[in-house]
Amino acid sequence: MIYTSTGSTSTTASLHEAASRVFAPDGGLYVPAQIKRLPKAFFNNIDAMNLREIAYVVANTLFGDDIPSDVLKDIVDDSFNFDMPLRHVSGKIYAIELFHGPSLGFKDVGARFMAHLLGYLHKTAGLKANVLVNTSGDTGGAVAAGFYNVPGIDVYVLYPLYKMTREQEAQFTTLGGNIHPLGANCDYDTCQELVREIFTDDEIQRRCRLLTANSINVTRLLPQTIYYFYAYSRMPRALRRNIVFSIPSGNLGNLTAGVIAMRMGLPVKRFVAAQGANHPLVDYLDRTAAAPSGKAISTLAPALDVTAPSNLPRLRHLFADDRAAMAARIKAVSVADAQISRTMREVHADASYLMDPHTAAATAALASTITPDETGIVLATAHPAKYHDTVLQATGINVPLPAQMAAAAAARRYGERIAPRFDELKRYLLRRASQ
């Protein structure tokens, strides 16, 4: 597949180039130059296929030109090695649980796929590579687990100190080996900005083979299309006509993947993007809104605390910069903390189902817009145990920590502190990651 840039469609790149660079030379983000549609027969047979079979067909449509089929099959099997059950919540609302992987969040899917794909691309090039990633909590654990022990790749995780739960921090600070955590005393947006700057630095580009693992990397973004197809396949046939996906939206990677799945032919009617007190997509779609303020407000759903979503340029590109066209398919809704808590409490009381605050935000947003002829699928992006204290406060339920998290929380920590400044991060990387 050929990739182009959101900056200019005259830019083209191979998968290897698009996967290795963060930004296109024109500063844009890579997107597929053309999105291939899946044949009708695929949708007719989709109920009879299991997760790995569906994943392989979708992955082959996206990466089949670039990756030999036996390698792609191994990548799919290694990445989709945990279940993603579709649960009925209540009424016409379902949830696809994407949180049964090693870090208990949906980011495991893209991160594992990317790790194995980059491992393959760099092995064939015979080169050692470094991954730099910033995290507000969930990316770090998913990326660390995905890349842990992948030969030839070292991972640097830049994260804001004191901004996430002990369990989240444990997921990427207790592995050691090729995973190197860097704690900085700043907020998440500052970490994100530092990483963006590092990737535009010529000396870093020249001296370190530095890759990104945030959702702006196409090899992480595109595999996220797969679970939209899978969720559709598990929905009872009679309910498949007017499907609405509701997505807790921070950097908009998940939403962008959903739109790409729709362009590949997935019969979806529309999307709901749930945001919190920070709502840049609501502002974008509502032209009258004031320009977003710089600093993110902290909420019960920290992965939504983003003011400048990194995937917005891709989403705009997919809709040819036409806000009205985007608004026809995407409804962005801002959900306040009180509503997130109330939804967690009510869903538990009415349906005996526990949700993490991000999933609850998406459920509340969906409930506010769904019509009687529609069926809603919420992307359940994190295990409720990951947000143990928030869930306890809202519902009174003490979710037990799954075994892998309990062990990690007690384990020895690795990592270093770093001052949240460009020159410090650059010096560190030149010392550790240059070759």
Which among 244-252, 327-335, 368-376, 410-418 is the span making contact with ligand PLP, rule CB under 6 A?
Answer: 244-252
Report the alpha-carbon distance of residue 358 to residue 364 in Å, rounded.
10
Least Cα distance to 383 among 182, 141, 51 occurs for 141
Question: Among residues 179 and 255, whose Cβ is nearest to ligand PLP?
Answer: 255
Which among 36-44, 199-207, 251-259, 313-321 is the span making contact with ligand PLP, rule CB under 6 A?
Answer: 251-259
Burial environment of residue 400 by CB neighbours within 10 A (0 to 12, 13 to 18, 19 or more) = exposed
The residue with tokens 């005393």 is 185
Question: Among residues 348 and 383, whose Cβ is nearest to ligand PLP?
Answer: 383
Question: Among residues 46 and 133, whose Cβ is nearest to ligand PLP?
Answer: 133
Which among 62-70, 151-159, 252-260, 339-347 is the span making contact with ligand PLP, rule CB under 6 A?
Answer: 252-260
Pattern of binders to ligand PLP over 378-417, x per CB under 6 A? ---xx-----------------------------------
For the CB of residue 292, give the shortest distance to ligand PLP in the complex, in Å.
16
Contacts of 301 (CB under 8 A, 6+ apart): 248, 276, 340, 357, 358, 360, 361
Among 160, 253, 276, 376, binds ligand PLP (CB under 6 A): 253
**Residue 141 binds to ligand PLP (criterion: CB under 6 A):** no
Question: Among residues 192 and 251, whose Cβ is nearest to ligand PLP?
Answer: 251
Q: Which residues lie across from 133 on neighbouring strands?
A: 157
Which among 159-167, 192-200, 247-255, 409-417 is the span making contact with ligand PLP, rule CB under 6 A?
Answer: 247-255
| DSSP H or E segment with residue 156 | strand 153-160
Among 252, 315, 326, 377, binds ligand PLP (CB under 6 A): 252
Q: For the chain, give percent helix, strand, coil, nearest 5.
A: 50, 15, 35
For the CB of residue 207, give the shortest distance to ligand PLP in the complex, in Å.
30
Amino acid identity for residue 82 in this structure? F
For the CB of residue 356, give the shortest distance to ligand PLP in the complex, in Å.
6
For the CB of residue 105, give the shortest distance to ligand PLP in the complex, in Å.
5
Residues between 293 and 312 with contacts to ligand PLP, criterion CB under 6 A: 303
Question: Among residues 146 and 248, whose Cβ is nearest to ligand PLP?
Answer: 248
Least Cα distance to 318 among 263, 269, 281, 271 occurs for 263
Q: Helix 166-173 vs helix 403-410: angle between axes, to the nearest 10 degrees?
A: 80
Report the alpha-carbon distance of residue 289 to residue 210 in Å, rounded.
37
For the CB of residue 251, give the shortest distance to ligand PLP in the complex, in Å.
3
| DSSP H or E segment with residue 76 | helix 69-79
Question: Among residues 46 and 364, whose Cβ is nearest to ligand PLP?
Answer: 364
**Residue 215 binds to ligand PLP (criterion: CB under 6 A):** yes
Pattern of binders to ligand PLP over 173-212, x per CB under 6 A? ----------------------------------------
Which among 23-31, 74-82, 193-201, 250-258 is the span making contact with ligand PLP, rule CB under 6 A?
Answer: 250-258
Residues between 91 and 120 with contacts to ligand PLP, criterion CB under 6 A: 105, 107
Site size for ligand PLP (CB under 6 A): 15
Question: Among residues 46 and 292, whose Cβ is nearest to ligand PLP?
Answer: 292
Among 97, 108, 138, 305, binds ligand PLP (CB under 6 A): 138
Report the alpha-carbon distance of residue 265 to residue 344 in Å, rounded.
33
Burial environment of residue 410 by CB neighbours within 10 A (0 to 12, 13 to 18, 19 or more) = exposed
Least Cα distance to 138 among 248, 274, 275, 302 occurs for 302
For the CB of residue 306, give the shortest distance to ligand PLP in the complex, in Å.
7
**C-alpha distances in Å from residue 90, one per residue of 95, 162, 348:** 10, 36, 11
For the CB of residue 52, give the shortest distance to ligand PLP in the complex, in Å.
23
**Residue 276 binds to ligand PLP (criterion: CB under 6 A):** no
Sign of CA dihedral 277, 281, 284, 286: negative
What is the residue-wise DSSP string for 26-67?
TS--EEESSPPPPPHHHHHSGGGS-HHHHHHHHHHHHHTTTS
**C-alpha distances in Å from residue 392, one per residue of 91, 341, 396:** 25, 10, 5
Site of interaction with ligand PLP (CB under 6 A): 105, 107, 138, 215, 248-254, 303, 358, 381-382
